[in-house]
Structure 1
């Protein structure tokens, strides 16, 4: 790829493809891409932090990062990696299938696993799709927008299938489609309401279940309790607010639905083994 970035922009719709390596990771880390949805195609030998979890690539890997999620490329290699970033106007309208939309399984799953490992034939196909996106961006034809969207959707569909095989079809977690739909629905509700609803009973009611039944469903699937999942989502947002905003700890507590900042402080410290103030200081450094 000759240029570091190729861009499509029309009205409010925007998508770009950026190539980067050890010499140009500032293109990814400078913060300008925070509000875009991102798909990264990364070779072996890279280390990334996504929402404060660290990943080292042992082979080519796809990462899926939603807008406002924390992303940092910590270690890059000599071989180029590629990032497609786009806004919701480009690809995220209601008619898109929920599972492959911008807030679908890859970008918002209950396991908080944002990556897909690529092997053999699947690696060849994904490489070709990224090349086709690059070629369309270079062409800038009147039909390029729709062609790019088709290639992007193919990447997401193929990666979704592979993600399921890698994460839902193993000895520890084996789920039928009904279980997957149930968990996606629960995760979606938590993502919408976590700021004002902190109790398992709130979500059980929205799912027309007894709180005990909801907890038992998680137990049967060898998952953390729904109560822990709700707390984890709250703490994740707290970390993002500590990083991205200048809000005080008290203001963050109120924003996340806690009238007692001291209780929020204790919850954060219990889950993260450090206080909110110490976390902010460390992540800023």
Structure 2
């Protein structure tokens, strides 16, 4: 069994689990599905997050919320922090390093950051500091743990920016980054009931054309396509992991006309919802 340590106080919860090769399959079940997760994954692992496959050749941190996780192979010891929004989240913490920042639910759909040897050592030490606090159960443990969680997220955010924003593919000026971060956050909150660019532009207090132009100027997918992508991802999750009918899924995702939803899914994915449910097999491969 994995080593498990947990802090719980009223509505707040944070746990740390250390996994070895023999008990990795526990991660593939529903136990941690509703938690916010920071997962240290050593090189050599293969895993699927939702419908994307990753072969990890560099020690990495994955940042997950309600994604479906499947560990396929892995030998070295891995560690996972899991916590709820009452323990650490945007309502009481800086938005960039909270649970809805760049690392979680970003529009680039990159849920990981790579670590070099020095960063790996630093991150492991922070995990171990959290482990110590959970074992000691001191009265000040909660605040100490929260400071360590924030350090992990700050370090990872810096690395994520360096690895994914400062390159030839994506260059986002610092003063523009908040728009993309907030769009990601609003999309995750509202994708079931808000389906248009205008609705998200309103939340961001900018014109729809301005929002679209910001994405186009950086050669990113359009806001409209990102909205559709998020809806389709949830549709695929519901089709593959639940017994809901296509009609029920359409209603869950805010479509009063299931036939319209069926046409949208078929047009965008090249297969009908029913065919996807019966014939899905893991698709895109990512190696890093």
Alignment RMSD (CA, Å): 2.1
For 1:140 and 1:281, the matched residues in 2 are separated by: 49
**Normalized against structure 2, the TM-score is what?**
0.90
Contact 1:51–1:69 (CA under 8 A) maintained in structure 2:
yes
Deviations 1:37-91 (A, max 9, x none): 111001001012223211111111000001x2211212222x1111111112221
- The counterpart of 1:178, out of the listed 171, 175, 179, is 175
1:250 counterpart residue number: 247
Confirm or deny that 1:90 pairs with 2:84.
no
1:31 aligns with 2:42: no
Alignment of 1:48 with 2:71, yes or no, is no
TM-score after normalising by structure 1? 0.91
Matched, 1:222 2:219: yes
Distance 1:186 1:93 in 2: 15
Gaps in structure 1 of 5+ consecutive residues: none
Aligned to 1:6: 5
SS in structure 1 at match of 2:104: coil
CA distance in 1, matches of 2:146, 2:163: 25
Residue 278, structure 1, aligned to residue 266, structure 2: no
Q: Deviations over 1:248-276 (max 9, x none)?
A: 11011122122221221222233333332
CA spacing shift, 1:137–1:210, aligned 2, 3 Å: closer
1:234 to 231, 248, 254: 231
Number of positions where the alignment pairs a residue of Structure 1 with one of Structure 2: 282
Decide which of 255, 259, 271 is 1:262's aligned counterpart: 259
For residues 178-233 of structure 1, the C-alpha deviation after alignment (integer angstroms, 9 at most, x for no partner) is 22111112222323332233222333344444433332221110101111111001
- Could you tell me how far apart the structure 2 residues matched to 1:93 and 1:109 are? 15
Q: Is the 1:92–1:102 Cα contact (8 Å) retained in structure 2?
A: yes
Residue pair 1:201, 1:211 contacting (<8 A) in 2 also: yes
Deviation (angstroms), 1:111? 0.4
C-alpha separation in 2, matches of 1:61 and 1:267: 35
Structure 2's unaligned 5+ residue stretches are: 283-288
Query: Is 1:106 paired with 2:103?
Result: yes
